[in-house]
Amino acid sequence: MKRTDAARRPAVTTVAETPATAPPPVARPAEPPCPPRWAPRRAAVAMGTVAAVAALVLTACTADGGPSAPANRGPVAAASAAQPELSWAEDLRISDAEEHLVTRCMTAHGFRFWDGQRLSLAERRPLGYVQDDVRWARTYGYGSRILAKEDRARLTNPNLLYRKTLSADRQRAYDVAMDGGREAEVLSAAAPTGGTITKQSGGCTAAAEKALYGDPAAWFAADTTVSNLRPLYVDKLLKDGGFTRAVRAWSRCMRDAGHPYADPAAARQATREHSARQSPAEEARSFAAETRVAVADATCARTVSLRSIGRRREAHYVAGLGGEYAQALDAHARMKRLALGRAERIVAART
């Protein structure tokens, strides 16, 4: 869970070096595609090619909420099929419930605490490497205005502002209530890519995880494994013949539409090549240009079936992962289902 008092030390740290060829391990909530905790986040539009393809998303956070069936029925594929992943909207509901539980807990400890300023369900739609929702692109482009909205929310985060008004002793008490303070238990789990990931676990954040997932330590171990599987196969996916042919077909479609880009990452990057400080008129022109490219991108992705091809090829590589990950996948999906059932009794779904 991300903290709302970000001035304090990170709750998650990487302890060991990972191979230089693989992206470093991350602990959930990851910045992509899957919905994070309540602290505002940046959408996946800023990802590089490798990270973006890793967020293509087969077994989690897909646009339609349903995973593709892996081509091979190995142990990992069987585990994924036995416990289907949640849709991104369901995952978001768990995050909202976790936030609400922390708010109630902090209030019970005598502190003022506010739920985050929530974006609409459409605004929180994950944006991975392939974006083929033309209607969404026509409304939001690549999400630049959503990012700006999140940035404004960060600057006015009432929990950060409130903590600054407290005395030093009350700030320490606030931190202990939030996550157990510096004496809190530290959870540790090995990442599939190598190295160890740790997370501080205590206070209201641990209580919220326990209320939703049952066992914070077991959840952290399973989540660490599942969240770091993509680096094991992303290089193969990038070089996969079926996937690269689909990307070239997308590129030809974009060129015919007047947007000569090699891949979706290049198209998105081009829309960000403007001054960070713009007048309202300049921002309107930039957003109009962004929307034109985003609509063409989504249209071409749908025309050449880039998402479905990518998901099938990702399924192939996921199915080829070693059987040692099957137990973690099963436990992860099972605990997510448990958390969703509990979240549905705590908060309403976003609209």
Q: Name every residue whose Cβ is closer than 8 Å to that of residue 212 and which is 6 or more positions away in sequence.
A: 94, 97, 98, 101, 338, 339, 342, 343
d(C-alpha 181, C-alpha 177), whole Å: 7
| Cα–Cα dist 210/340, whole Å | 13
Torsion of CA 183, 185, 190, 191, to 10 degrees: -80
In this prediction, residue 324 carries a pLDDT of 83
Give residue 35's pLDDT.
33
Rounded to the nearest 10 degrees, the angle between the axes of helix 326-343 and helix 216-227 is 120
For residue 47, tell me if it sits in a domain.
Answer: yes
Check residue 96 and give its pLDDT.
96
pLDDT at 81: 55
pLDDT 10s digits, 208-240: 999 999 999 999 999 999 999 999 999 999 899
Q: Identify whether 2 is part of a domain.
A: no
Q: Is 262 strand, coil or helix?
A: coil
Q: Please report the pLDDT score of residue 67 as a whole number.
A: 42
* H/E segment holding residue 193: none
Would you say residue 349 lies in a domain? no
Residue 272 falls inside a structural domain? yes
320 belongs to a structural domain: yes
Beta bridge partners of 201: 185
The count of domains in the chain is 1
Q: Tell me how far apart the alpha carbons of residues 32 and 56 are, in angstroms, rounded to a whole number.
A: 10
pLDDT given at position 76: 58
Q: Which residues span the domain enclosing 235? A: 12-343
Structural domain includes residue 6: no
Q: What is the spatial distance between Cα 186 and Cα 141, in angstroms, rounded to a whole number?
A: 41
- Give the whole-angstrom CA distance, residue 93 versus residue 294: 27
In a domain, residue 334? The reply is yes
Residue 339 · residue 212 · CB < 8 Å: yes
Q: Tell me, yes or no, whether 278 lies in a domain.
A: yes
Closest CA to 118 of 105, 100, 136: 100
Of 57, 70, 122, the C-alpha closest to 306 is: 57
Two tokens at 49? 């090619």
Residue 73 is predicted with a pLDDT of 52
pLDDT at 80: 54
Structure tokens at 271: 């829309």
What pLDDT, on a 0 to 100 scale, did the predictor assign at position 14? 36
Tokens of 216: 């914070």
List per-block mean pLDDT (blocks of 10 residues) for the chain, which spans 351 residues: 41 35 34 33 33 39 41 54 78 96 97 89 92 97 95 92 96 96 93 94 96 96 94 93 97 98 96 88 96 98 97 92 87 96 96 91
CB 288 within 8 A of CB 140: no
| Cα–Cα distance measured from residue 40 to residue 74, given in angstroms and rounded to the nearest whole number | 38
CA dist 324 and 75 (Å) reads: 8
